[in-house]
Copies of this chain bind each other. A is one copy, B any other.
């Protein structure tokens, strides 16, 4: 299979609800960046998180092994700082090898869940 992807990605939307109607990990309100590395080299990804009213935070660093996908929850980011809940943010991803990025939110503030997803914005 031919490796595909791009090295620069951005997700302009970003908002993690602080509330959830469920304690099951799969159903806790969350935002995910699904990062697919189709190639044969490790992807070293630097993430910068932008806010409305203060300087960006980052880089957060994650590694995606060759031929692996990482469904990264923004909820789980901790270093250099956690992502605040109920707060507008955006994110930019820079990888040293081509990857593919898709953004998803699961919202369970109420008794039914709501989902949204989009292929992120990319540049070579």
Contact = CB atoms under 8 A, between A and B. Distances in A.
Interface of A: 1-2, 4-5, 8, 10-15, 17, 26-27, 32, 34-36, 38, 46, 48, 50-53, 55-56, 58-59, 67-71, 86, 88-90, 92, 94, 100-105, 107, 109-123
Contacts of A36: 10, 12, 50, 90, 92
A94 B92 CA distance: 21
B90 A13 contact: no
Contact of A55 (B4, B11, B67): B67
A54 to B, nearest CB: 8
A11 B92 contact: no
Contacts of A119: 12, 118-121
A69 B50 contact: yes
Contacts of A110: 111-113
